[in-house]
Structure 1
């Protein structure tokens, strides 16, 4: 665009084009020959000098020229110098502003990159956080499952402890019963030994008793036989003496004595019959002799019996009596 001609040739530039604004003073011939070349110097006193304003975007550059007459140059040199200094100051400010804007743009791009990377990292972190939450939930579920299994194991362990205690008590009871059984078996063995000893002793005693009983029975039978023989001999002697006595009494004619003798004969015969019955029984029913009922005859007959039978007793075999 074109700036108004005059000494104060400051051209305002919009704020959107402040980053590409620059003031230059170039000679006319250089402006004609090389429009794209940049020279930054001012030559006062030359007839052909221009102050241009370059506004460019990319490779396109627009130039605005201000024509200054040579006659006015000397009078307006100081003003131009001041304007130029002001322009230079503005240029520096604009350059500083451009640098700041570039820095801001760079910073903004970096901030955008950082923000993008942060967003990417945030998304990654959110995904990781979601994964971690899911893993944490799974871990919590697994922990709950493990706690449940641990409780079950604790219950099983308590049950096993109770069973073990019951088994221990049962084992102790069994051991105690076994000990009692061994004691009972030993006691039974001792009792059996005592029974066997007693039975053997009883058998030996019974055998000895049978032997002694047989011996006693034999001795008793022999004694009874001897006694029967002696009694029979005595009866024969008594009968003979009675006959002799009867003959003697017949000679004397004593009737009373004859009746008395007959009575004694009947008594002796009954006593003899009792002795015979006792011998046949073997002495089992009564140990006393049957003739004890007729223990004595009259004094004469008993004296004769003892005197006449003394010879027979001397010849009888001796019989030992076992207590």
Structure 2
């Protein structure tokens, strides 16, 4: 059934109005030159019919008439509608954000899949083709995110290490009064991390590739070095508060690291059994560190 005539006419008028308002010439200050231009053109043609100029003047007048009409006709297409421009810019911005979100999600999916492949078959046997097949894309797509298998491995492994490293460094709170408890909690979490199968595999791969590529140094800088810089900062806070006695917080951090790893990390990297249980190693490491660095009577107990 057709709508009532008044409603149909109203909709049609509203549609025409919306279309007209969207047009660049809808702005009053742009419509005015059209009226003036039409008036000038009428006067020009009237003068032409009465003056009957010479051929030379006719030629000159025709040239200016063509130029005038050209500018008159091109004016609407040369003016940018501000509302339309804003709409286009907004849609473009929204499209860029959506594309960036999709790109980040795709990159994260690649890293997760690559991590699984590296854990299953190891760095040597893993390949870009294998990872791209697992994802369901092409090698070209993968190379658009990572230039080589080496770069992909570093990104996949350091992503996991950085997250675990943030959890570790969160334990190093200088405001906590019980230094022994802080060091023991940190030590236990640290040993769980460095003795896990994933981290041991990463370290072995980095050492194996150190002579042939920059993979080893990159993994070290983005992993262990970053973590021990946080520990050095923590030792600096302890030194400033006169809780530990040291002239160099970096040396204190390195000593504590060595005490934690002694008899555990090195045997495991070779595939052998650890010399001590983790809890035993942590307690012994904290005792030795506090005897060497604590001020008398403050943290020994």
TM-score range, shorter chain: under 0.3
TM-score by length of 2: 0.21
Q: Indicate the structure (1 or 2) with the bigger Cα radius of gyration.
A: 1
Please identify which structure carries the higher strand content. 1
TM-score by length of 1: 0.20
